[in-house]
Structure 1
Amino acid sequence: MEFNLNNLLRENIKNLVPYSSARDEFKGEASVYLDANENSYGSPIATPFNRYPDPLQFAVKKRISEIKGVPPRNIFLGNGSDEAIDILFRAFCRPGIDNVITVPPTYGMYEVSANINDVAIKKVPLLPDYQLNLDEIAAAIDENTKLIFICSPNNPTANSINRDDIEAILANFNGLVVIDEAYINYSRQKTFIQELTEYSNLVVLQTLSKAWGLAGLRIGMAFASEEIIEIFNRVKPPYNINQASQQLALEALNNIDQVNAWIKETIYEREKLVSTLASLPTVVKIFPSDANFILVKTTDAKGIYNYLVERGIIVRDRSKVELCEGSLRITVGTPTENEKLIEALKSFAG
């Protein structure tokens, strides 16, 4: 059966008439705006924010388009990637009927969003080497499976998922395959964005929170076919990205050289950190990383975590997560932060 987007959509979304805002109805510049019931006098702060922002964030999408090589019509911007994830559930999954597949250990918001939307999750754990179990994924798919979530590089395991395996799923699954590339800037693998014309059932998630250093602005990106992006725009709130975030994102997107320099330094520090940690007696194994963090299997994850907390150093204890037993997830910090971490771990070991 060939992929058909219309077959995936919920009936209420097919017939949805989106809210039409004042800024949807008028585009362009004018000297007098009396259409949106804004405060015409301004804002009680230095920068005026009394006008509603562009509901489709065209200036930001245009700049992202230049950087990513994707037309603006194939880009959705959300309040973090979490908004895009939630919209996928609301647009394509019928509560209490449909299901999605996740491949744990993976990013926790897929499950949270499924639970909020009353959509069943079929969990197909990764293999011991943190790669996809293709046979079990194929066995889990039924007529009500709408989405498959694949995080690559994966959180919390840090590795990239085998590209051929992902392409096998894209080619054989009639639902949407969502590839979460939050950490792609740190990876040796190329993005799946370049495959959008090849696979009409592909949705790629990225973010400005990691390599771009804008976690506080909450701007996530989804890249997909024009038809899928149109559905995102139909379902989203009218002004989901505020004006301040749009302005600051545009400013950041013009500083690509700084971001690239930070990426290189982060990768250098990551390899240095891996090398140093490997010599510690409390470290059992360090898993391969294509991200800005590493997963470290230790002799005493909880003890080390608490010891670090007492010294003002916070890492993530992932020891209760399936296939991550005894492991800590450690973000690559600045050289100074990494040195403090190493010294603390050495004193724990001593």
Structure 2
Amino acid sequence: MTIEPTKMNIQDLLRENIKNLTPYSSARDEFQGEASIYLDANENSFGSPLETAFNRYPDPLQLELKKKLTTIKGVPAQNIFIGNGSDEAIDILFRAFCRPGIDNVVTVPPTYGMYEVSANINDVEIRKVNLLPNYQLNLEGIAEAIDKNTKLIFICSPNNPTGNSINREDIETILANFHGIVVIDEAYINFSRQKTFIQELTEYSNLVVLQTMSKAWGLAALRVGMAYACEEIIEIFNKVKPPYNINRASQELALKALDNIDQVNQWIRETVAERNKLAKSLTEITIVEQVYPSDANFLLVKIKYADYLYNFLVDKGIIVRNRSKVTLCESCLRITVGTPDENKILINAIKEFVI
């Protein structure tokens, strides 16, 4: 990087309308503590037709869930935002910091597609700096892409769809030198040998770390994502978000899941073991040209006749992800690590295709 280190001021990055925004104040925001009679939010006082009392609005700040995450992650509650999936946090970053038609963000393809979708929705220019052939950051290219209107840089690590972790020193170089917000998407960090960046929050005020309960925690259907950042950025998230963005069912079920860390850690160990077995089995198939190293719960596989194989597997009721048209992923399928039985069925189907 050729950018000179500079002191970060989050308010300098914020859109003027967000600085001046008066957030919506819900009934539950205005009341603190417990009560026996709630007549403040125009709810159905008689209850709901379900066994659980879903007639009451959920905690708008998910305090119990954040308290539990604090215990597990070692991050204070004031440094945690909980969103409707990580996608909500991504969208808020655009809406809070990027002026439509003026500002820009940098992404490093191949990478998670929602960064570009959110940029397009919010009318924000996206500057793509492709990863190097080894799927690591092109620091010189990133430095050249940045100008005074660059507000965000998105780095997915472990990366989707390549599966590899991004070199930590390269990320730290960007964090130390970029006068904007660096978003590190750690959706797959539980499967990685790389340490999370959430322990670096006190060192970098411009750092936002995204994590999720959709992958290792097995709660994709609940749509619970987390953003970890300095308190000032978290306050901005809470200012912009809808008042009740996480429903009560998702909060309660996520809390129950967080009580089962041992089970989740066992699944992670089994997934990594199956990932290694699956990679070995794939390399023994003649049409497989390369199985890329992975720190995630999936493998990127370069394979001859990828499009034909994809369709063949669909006919067999086996769905993988065809990434052949993605930058630097030509002739590649992305394969999620399944159960031992699912992986055997997949391998046998590919062998049948070869025959």
Query: For the superposition of Structure 1 and Structure 2, which TM-score range results when normalised by the shorter chain?
Result: over 0.9
SS at match of 1:200: coil
- The counterpart of 2:194, out of the listed 189, 196, 201, is 189
Count of residues in Structure 1 that have an aligned counterpart in Structure 2: 350
- 2:11 maps to 6
- Give the counterpart letter for 1:154 in structure 2: N
CA distance in 1, matches of 2:243, 2:194: 35
- 1:317 maps to 322
RMSD: 0.4
- Work out whether 1:263 is the aligned partner of 2:268: yes
- 2:34 maps to 29
Alignment of 1:151-300 (within 5 A): 151-300=156-305
Runs of 4 or more, structure 1, over 4 Å off, are: none
* Aligned-pair CA distance for 1:29: 1.0
* Aligned-pair CA distance for 1:27: 1.7
Alignment of 1:67-216 (within 5 A): 67-216=72-221
* Aligned-pair CA distance for 1:25: 0.5
1:142-180 deviations in whole A, cap 9, x for unaligned? Answer: 000000000000000000000000000000001000000
- Give the counterpart letter for 1:39 in structure 2: N
- 2:352 maps to 347
* Aligned-pair CA distance for 1:311: 0.4
SS at match of 2:58: coil
1:40-78 deviations in whole A, cap 9, x for unaligned? Answer: 000011212000000000000000111000000000000
- Give the counterpart letter for 2:84 in structure 1: N
1:96-117 deviations in whole A, cap 9, x for unaligned? Answer: 0000000000000000000000
CA distance in 2, matches of 1:7, 1:33: 41
- 1:327 maps to 332
CA distance in 2, matches of 1:45, 1:8: 45
- Give the counterpart letter for 2:71 in structure 1: E
SS at match of 1:211: coil
1:192-222 deviations in whole A, cap 9, x for unaligned? Answer: 0010011110000000000000000000000
Normalised to the residue count of structure 2, the TM-score between the two structures is: 0.98
* Aligned-pair CA distance for 1:3: 1.1
SS at match of 1:76: strand
- Give the counterpart letter for 1:102 in structure 2: T
- Give the counterpart letter for 1:200 in structure 2: S
Normalised to the residue count of structure 1, the TM-score between the two structures is: 1.00
SS at match of 1:339: helix
> Identity over aligned residues, as a percent?
75
1:259-285 deviations in whole A, cap 9, x for unaligned? Answer: 000000000000000001000011000
SS at match of 1:104: coil
